[in-house]
Amino acid sequence: MYVREPTYEVSYMFRKILVPVDGSSHSLRALSVAIDFAKRYGSAVVALVVDDGTTGPLERISEALSSISKKSGVDLQTKVVKVSSGSSTANAIVEEVSRGGYDLVVISARGRTVNPDLIMGSVALSVVVNVPISVFVVR
């Protein structure tokens, strides 16, 4: 039986990855998946923190991202976006995707959602439906 050697097409498909991070353990798990992509395929990873007023102390999230970057050996770029009045977190993510030239979004199925019965949160669902690029949903 012939088994093909891996071609690593992924390294050409997903050069720049966006990971929305809200500080939850779910979003940090999505970030670890993106970091694994970066280590294996040389992808650039951008962690997007959307400040919607309920995110909590941004310094805490920034420190966590910096620590993760140092431990993993992957250079993370962190971007903070403030949600304007009349907009939403999902809209801010979709706008960043359209402006940033990303190839992939790695997003957690749920963020800071309190209801554990929810399979996918509204932000993840909106991103999956509205961005024109591949989305990797981490459960």
| Residue 6 backbone phi and psi in degrees, to 5 | -65, 140
pTM across the whole model: 0.91
| Distance from the Cα of residue 17 to its chain's centroid | 7
- Alpha-carbon distance of 80 to 58, in angstroms, equals 9
Compute the distance between CA of residue 96 and CA of residue 81 in angstroms, rounded to an integer.
9
Q: What is the mean pLDDT of residues 3-28?
A: 86
Give the C-alpha separation, 103 to 105, whole Å: 7
26, 55 Cβ separation under 8 angstroms: no
Do the beta carbons of residue 107 and residue 134 sit within 8 Å?
Answer: no
Question: Mind listing the pLDDT tens digit for each residue in 33-91?
Answer: 999 999 999 999 999 999 988 877 889 999 999 999 999 999 999 999 999 888 999 99
CA–CA separation, 64 vs 43, rounded Å?
20
Specify whether the CB–CB gap between 72 and 39 falls below 8 A. yes
Q: How confident is the model at residue 114 (pLDDT cuts 50, 70, 90)?
A: low
Say how many residues make up the chain: 139
